[in-house]
Amino acid sequence: MKNPLVTGHDAREITEQVSKLLRDVGNPEPPLSLQIIRDRLKLDLRYYSTVDHSFVRDAVHAIKVAGKQVLQRPTLLIDAVRRFDLRALWLPDRKRILIDQDLHPLKHRWAEVHETAHAIIPWHADYLLGDADTELSPTCCATIEAEANYACGQILFLQERFVEEVMSLPVTIESLKNLKQRFDNTYTSTLWRMVEEYCGSRPVVGIVSVHPIRLSDDFEPSDPCRYVIQSAKFREEFGKVTEVELFNALGSYCSRKRGGHLGTGQVSLVDDNGQQHEFLFETFCLRYKKPDQDLGFQALTLGVHQRKLSTGAARCGNRSVG
């Protein structure tokens, strides 16, 4: 899935709302304390479990549209959470954020601020609760989630503060790791924000995928990437490059290692005008675990444009570096 864009009036409005929030909490230094955000917005944070139904008693009466109770049976909320695999909820009437206690702890920070983003985007309260007669279209749902993610990224990475630091560093995995530590966010969210906010002259792409060599039995070759993140320049010049092409390129240089640095390689990509270009790709692998289970592998890749290839050079193909 390629990263959706939030543009125009909506992007400007969201940016203004985030700027106001950060000003109100004193434009803090990284890493951002989520407690000061909750205190400023008077938000209550709680955790729930789909096994324990006690949270329904507090939550269900808050889900109303125009004062009308939407869920007459409290257990329907549990059914909805399970059906849509919801990991966090925002209850506007109670100003309460609920996070699934079974969600990996590393993801709690993003989940909380994603729901906070719904709270500060003025038009989200009506859409999130839906319409009493019709459900939201998939396109509308995707737009709402993209807007919340956009606001979430701006909050967690302190807007221009992160952009300034990105542009002062080389576009490398090592810089990604340093930024991850400095802003205290996950590798995935840092990669996402780093690529989207890169405003230099070189096209940059980020890929979040399974391990490119250690494929599971249920791997789907036609849908190999969890996310493909494009810088503005990459989207403009390489919009026709597919997720399958990008993922297949990883196999040309990655090792079978179970974690850490998987490899660096020179990858040839064709731009929208049919001209071949050389990118330098770096991939490293994370292995997420809980005490009672192994959650598997996640590979993160950063690709940075190097040069335009001549017709003769293009025949060299992809190769490992180092």
What secondary structure does DSSP assign to 77-107, as a single string?
HHHHHHHTT--EEEEGGGTEEEEETTS-GGG
Least confident of 34-38, 40-44, 65-69, 121-125: 65-69
Residue 127 is predicted with a pLDDT of 65
Domain architecture of the chain: domains with CATH: 8-156 (1.10.10.2910), 170-320 (3.30.450)
Residue 197 is predicted with a pLDDT of 94
Tell me the two tokens of residue 316.
Answer: 């060299």
Quick: pLDDT tens for 227-239.
Answer: 999 999 999 999 9
CB 224, CB 210: distance < 8 Å: yes
Q: Which of 57-66, 120-129, 287-296, 310-319 has the highest mean pLDDT?
A: 120-129
CA angle 98, 4, 215 (to 5 degrees): 80
Nearest-angstrom CA–CA distance, 232 and 238? 10
Of residues 195 and 290, more confidently modeled: 195
Quick: pLDDT tens for 50-78.
Answer: 666 565 555 554 444 444 444 454 555 55
Tell me the two tokens of residue 135.
Answer: 């459900």
Q: Is the pLDDT of residue 101 over 90?
A: no
Q: Is the pLDDT of residue 130 over 50?
A: no
How high is the mean pLDDT of the chain?
Answer: 85
Q: Is the pLDDT of residue 23 over 70?
A: yes
Quickly state the pLDDT bin for 215 (edges 50, 70, 90): very high
Quickly state the pLDDT bin for 129 (edges 50, 70, 90): very low
Distances (CA, A) of 27 to 13, 156, 202: 19, 12, 30
* Global confidence as pTM: 0.85
Of residues 1 and 258, more confidently modeled: 258
Mean predicted confidence (pLDDT) in 289-306: 79
What secondary structure does DSSP assign to 225-248, as a single string?
EEEEEE-HHHHHHSTT--HHHHHH
Q: Which residues of 135-148 are buried (b: 16+ CB within 10 A; e: fewer)?
A: eeeeeeeebbeebb
Least confident of 4-8, 82-86, 215-219, 298-302: 82-86
Quick: pLDDT tens for 149-158.
Answer: 999 999 999 9
